[in-house]
Structure 1
């Protein structure tokens, strides 16, 4: 193999590899000798088919296989000989006019990871914003649980149903006198005013009493999930079997026991733990932002644009999805378009921080254990059909890039935890609103160019960041955790060898279809 360097600019590298016809032909001969003993042909004893006939029979297939293997081996040798650390999958291309029997010229273009000196981890100072869980917050949460677990008792037979009352009804639906599938039920509970049934259904039952029979007419919405009913008028013959009124829910031991607990003390303890866990996650996010701000402030090195492009693509696709769900989608789209450059800056910052964290982790012996990796693979495999899960596990085992991508979030968290242990941390109590505002302020700060950045905010700003943009910046994550397949960088330098995937990952199982509503 002959190697010629064609590009060496910044982090970009380019090479032309020449694989001689003689080299390729010799490998085909070797393959012929390897398979000849297994080849069967009429007129020849097993294993006695002449090599020239074997080559004639299987030449095209063997040539394609040998050429593919030789290119892969040559690229691997190039990476090793030049000590290259690809940032992403190299672009490998065989010259289009190649013909069998001629030298093969292969171009290899890639970006390499920058050489980074492990940053100093001394002198890190982080403020931990703590939100104490008050008894009032616990009781408010319990009251919300009670509100979603209402109980009802039978009302007097003369009671006229009003909004908030529960009806137990039988109904039969028909269109033009013909019953339709899914339009019949017995002993169906319905709370008037809940909006559970299609528009107009509940309104026409206000004022009914136990034992009443009534036929109502409603129109199914044009976008109704059952296409054969969408937009059509339907009649429902209804029998009111019971009118019920809401009973007062007492927040006592009996209420807690109905939830499967021992009593109110256990319920309060459980709710307090949940609230502490929830605010603890916000506290960690704020601490992580502060940590990353300090790391970013002291480092400004070139990063691979391919990695930036992949990170930006993820951010941008998420923003597009969110904009499409807004009530005024066109306005939302214009707003994010106006800040497109800011989001590209965020992508570059995250990639740079990802490389920094990787360097810190390697320099300080942070690792993902085999047990942790197995756990990650098992959890990720749950996204696939049961019959595809083992195939997914095998795909991860065979593809270093896919494996690095899977372990990247956990590796990042372990490095962050390592840095928290090294930092000087001071605690300050704040309200939840102040904590959320501080995180939102940092999200807005992340969009600013480095030269214009100010110290990260730790107090509630007067104005909150727009909620619709928060999802793209909701955590101080340094790099995309689900970048596009075959483009995603192995953001952690634990795995720098990039090989083409031997197999594609199995398709994820489709979302379960929702059953038609009772509407």
Structure 2
């Protein structure tokens, strides 16, 4: 087997691999000899089929296998000796298209190698960790919001008009073409105006109604309505308003706390404070992580594979295009050409991605089974009633597993770098932290 270098420019590598006809023939003979003891053929005892007959019967199949195994073996040996790690799938092509049995096999091998990432002294990185202590006012605001979610409705003063946010108790009968339809009738139905739980336009027509009034509501069913017999049809609902109730936030007491799993109001406040503190810490980490990436981007430079930059830039451009054109769900759209800005962002992402991967490999940072299981459990919450199917999908889908593993790995590498960087804490207000988070998008 001969391997000859044909290209060595930057990270690009090219080689010609020649598998001689004799090497290939010897490989075929060896595979046939290895399989011979297990082969049965009519007229011969097991393992006693003549070699010439075996070659005639299985020669072409074994020839293809021997050729593929030989080329794969030569490539693996090359990567082991050179230490090269391909940035993507190597381009392997047979160059003598007129090949026939008895000829040497000539193959071209082309790829971009991953660069050598320089060692980095992370102690040179200076980071600022923002900290926010939940104020009593923040806890009170969160507590008031919880009370609103546990609100009750109490009857308004007699003769009061229903407002947006009020609850009206109604009897209603719906008709299409003056004929009542299934599912269009109910008694004592509690409807919160502004909840958008009814057909568009229905609730708005009950704003201003009083208890005891009859209201005729005219609406059009949406074209995509679930019931085909009603989709796009004009409907009339005869409504009897029986009660008008206003929302009343729940009292801030121990009973409210128990509704949310706390032992007392003080215990609930403590839990709210801890939750806010965790939210602030998460937001502060996002800010610090961006600062870290900016610092690393300036600190570390090395040559990047063009193929990875091109692929990343195309992905960025494609994603941003769909964000700007949300109505286009598929990929039936004009060709999207990355801009200089997309390419610049792609270079940053590729550089930082290779750096973090190298640090993780050197430090033997791994994602544990427990961490993966936790990530899967978080994702499965998005598929209620389909938990079993989701678990099976994850088990069979390596790409999905990698999508779950990648951010966990990245966070663990980031934690390692932060531990070795010079980090100082700075106490800020909630508003200052919020501003810093908003600037991330900018």
Deviates more, 1:151-160 or 1:304-313: 151-160
In the superposition, relative to structure 1, how do residues 286 and 247 fare at CA in structure 2: closer, same or farther (>3 Å)? closer
TM-score, L = length of structure 1:
0.71
In the superposition, relative to structure 1, how do residues 374 and 147 fare at CA in structure 2: closer, same or farther (>3 Å)? closer
Q: What is the deviation of 1:4?
A: 1.8
In the superposition, relative to structure 1, how do residues 41 and 136 fare at CA in structure 2: closer, same or farther (>3 Å)? same
In the superposition, relative to structure 1, how do residues 198 and 2 fare at CA in structure 2: closer, same or farther (>3 Å)? same
- CA contact 1:98–1:104 (8 Å) conserved in 2: no
Q: Does 1:95 align with 2:90?
A: no
Post-superposition CA distance 1:455-474 (Å, at most 9, x none): xxxxxxxxxx3xxxxxxxxx
Post-superposition CA distance 1:395-441 (Å, at most 9, x none): 64xx9xx9877644333322222222222322222223323433554
In the superposition, relative to structure 1, how do residues 16 and 182 fare at CA in structure 2: closer, same or farther (>3 Å)? farther
Q: Does 1:126 align with 2:135?
A: no
Counterpart of 1:148?
149
Q: What is the deviation of 1:368?
A: 1.0
Deviates more, 1:365-374 or 1:262-271: 365-374
Q: What is the deviation of 1:116?
A: 2.8
Deviates more, 1:378-387 or 1:245-254: 378-387
- CA contact 2:367–2:409 (8 Å) conserved in 1: no
Any unmatched runs of 5+ in structure 2? 328-333
Distance 1:96 1:222 in 2: 61
How large is the RMSD of aligned CA atoms in angstroms? 3.7
Distance 1:269 1:244 in 2: 33
Q: Does 1:321 align with 2:319?
A: no
Larger radius of gyration between Structure 1 and Structure 2: 2
Q: How many residues align?
A: 430
Post-superposition CA distance 1:208-249 (Å, at most 9, x none): 566766653311234546665443212335455654332343
Q: What is the deviation of 1:378?
A: 5.3
- CA contact 1:377–1:393 (8 Å) conserved in 2: no
SS of residue matched to 1:288: helix
In the superposition, relative to structure 1, how do residues 370 and 145 fare at CA in structure 2: closer, same or farther (>3 Å)? closer
Counterpart of 2:266?
265
- CA contact 1:153–1:247 (8 Å) conserved in 2: yes
Counterpart of 1:459?
none
Counterpart of 1:195?
196
Distance 1:284 1:52 in 2: 71
Counterpart of 2:3?
3
Distance 1:170 1:54 in 2: 86
Any unmatched runs of 5+ in structure 1? 327-332, 444-464, 466-519
Distance 1:71 1:185 in 2: 74
Q: What is the deviation of 1:155?
A: 5.6
Structure 1 residue corresponding to 2:410, chosen from 409, 412, 427: 412
Distance 1:357 1:195 in 2: 47
Distance 1:197 1:97 in 2: 68
Q: What is the deviation of 1:144?
A: 2.1
Counterpart of 1:484?
none
Distance 2:80 2:150 in 1: 64
In the superposition, relative to structure 1, how do residues 394 and 2 fare at CA in structure 2: closer, same or farther (>3 Å)? farther
Deviates more, 1:254-263 or 1:26-35: 26-35
Structure 1 residue corresponding to 2:428, chosen from 426, 430, 434: 430
Matches within 5 A, 1:94-243: 94-95=94-95, 97=97, 99=99, 101=101, 102-154=103-155, 161-176=162-177, 183=184, 188-206=189-207, 216-222=217-223, 224=225, 229-238=230-239, 240=241, 242-243=243-244
In the superposition, relative to structure 1, how do residues 275 and 96 fare at CA in structure 2: closer, same or farther (>3 Å)? farther
Counterpart of 1:75?
75
Counterpart of 2:331?
none
TM-score, L = length of structure 2:
0.82
Counterpart of 1:349?
348
Distance 1:78 1:433 in 2: 57
Post-superposition CA distance 1:20-47 (Å, at most 9, x none): 3333333333333444444454444444
Q: What is the deviation of 1:10?
A: 0.5
